[in-house]
Amino acid sequence: MSSSDTPVFDIQPNAAPVPGSEREARIADPGFGKVFTDHMAVIRYSEDRGWHDARIQARAPVELDPAAAVLHYAQEIFEGMKAYRLTDGATALFRPDANAARFKRSAQRMAMPELPEELFLESIAKLVEIDKDWIPTMEGGSLYLRPFMFASETFLGVRPAREYLYMVIASSVGAYFKGGTPAITIWVSDDYSRAAPGGTGAAKCGGNYAASLVAQAEAIRQGCDQVVFLDAAEHRWVEELGGMNLFFVMDDGSMVTPPLKGTILPGITRDSILKLAQDEGIAVREEAYAIDQWRSDAESGRLRETFACGTAAVVTAVGTVKSTNGDFTIGGGGPGQMTQRMRQRLVAIQRGEAEDPHGWVKRLF
Ligand SMILES: *Cc1c(COP(=O)(O)O)cnc(C)c1O
């Protein structure tokens, strides 16, 4: 689509927004994914009209025919990003262009139409602008943005749909971990795989999450916070958590992270940490790391730290790993130095407190 036929957003403000005092009460302690704003962004797609009918409108339920393709064959993708206040009071996004690019790649994999990056970015900016009062003022508070797209065509035949809805909703969220950042305990899934070679592991699609939920439930039953998945082919190589990438910190100060070969989600936080490490002269190898190696390196002390990373929690230490083969603890079991340093570096750039050499922070207004 050329930029000349890019649809213009029709702004239809909510006629009955949540009153200010009620909004303040809701965002005082919002938790995660429960408090939603007054508006949403919507763009329609059809094969004959392309992208059209771009709107910011009152947040409302979506009417779908029971034969809508997404309800049967799960053509659905999403993104996750945050709008937040900088220390100087401006509102900003972190690397939104990377989310826009990943959304296009996810669409490609799921045989969906690609949303032009400028439409993605505009939908986000317009929604944040109209709902900016929903950004919590507490430390670590933000507006979690959830762009998503699904097949809305009424048709039960198995083929890529010809109609789609793209939407963005926004949710006020507090700090991911209240009162500091603890180390998490994770469960190694023996029975389940998240993604297989040739599958959809690198696409941010709802189906991957559906596939991970029994394993996540098993992790909770085992007293763990999260599940860690091994590769589907050999059940040997450590891949990622249900929604976070992993880094291993060695005793020589170098780091290892599993390589992107199609079964791992290419996290924007992962990529940012790779670049920060490079800036600081820290060697990072994108290299397969085996579960048995992980255990023996933790036991020998060759492995100092392990951390998980993603937009929601930024950087989180992994303290203990549990499995049917027994448990092991990493370092002292709490957040190590590199984990804390990477977290602080990233958060300082995100908040506009440190120099932003890569131009990651996009100020909105
Ligand atoms: C979204 C996601 C991540 C983290 O990606 P970020 O861009 O850093 O938020 C990691 N793994 C999976 C499976 C994900 O869906």
- Could you report the per-residue pLDDT of 33-52, keeping only the tens digit for each? 999 999 999 999 999 999 99
pLDDT of residue 1: 45
Question: What values do phi and psi take at 85, rounded to 5?
Answer: -90, 135
pLDDT higher than 90, residue 6: no
**148 pLDDT band (50/70/90 cuts)?**
very high
**179 pLDDT band (50/70/90 cuts)?**
low
- Whether 80 is in the pocket of ligand 1, judged by its Cβ within 6 Å, is yes
pLDDT higher than 70, residue 316: yes
How far, rounded to the nearest angstrom, does the alpha carbon of residue 132 sit from its chain's CA centroid? 21
pLDDT of residue 5: 61
pLDDT of residue 2: 45
pLDDT of residue 306: 98
- Whether 95 is in the pocket of ligand 1, judged by its Cβ within 6 Å, is no
Return the higher-pLDDT residue of 7 and 275.
275
State the distance from the centre of ligand 1 to the C-alpha of 267, rounded, in angstroms. Answer: 5
- The pLDDT mean for the chain works out to 95
- Both tokens assigned to 316: 């989180």
- Both tokens assigned to 50: 């392309």
Q: Which residue's alpha carbon is at the smallest distance from atom 1 of ligand 1?
A: 243
Q: With 0-12 CB in 10 A as exposed, 13-18 as middle and 19+ as buried, what is 37?
A: buried
State the distance from the centre of ligand 1 to the C-alpha of 106, rounded, in angstroms. Answer: 12
Domains of the chain: 3-174 (3.30.470.10), 179-350 (3.20.10.10)
pLDDT of residue 139: 85
pLDDT higher than 50, residue 283: yes
* CA dist 306 → 42, 46, 104, 183, 189 (Å): 40, 45, 31, 10, 17
Query: Which ligand 1 atom is the nearest neighbour of the CA of 309?
Result: 8
- Whether 272 is in the pocket of ligand 1, judged by its Cβ within 6 Å, is no
State the distance from the centre of ligand 1 to the C-alpha of 364, rounded, in angstroms. Answer: 23
pLDDT higher than 70, residue 153: yes
Global confidence as pTM: 0.96
Question: What CA–CA distance (Å, rounded) separates 244 from 80?
Answer: 12
| Nearby residues of 159 by Cβ (< 8 Å), 6 or more positions away | none
Pairing outcome for strands 10-11 and 50-58? parallel
Write out the H or E segment, with its range, that includes residue 312: none
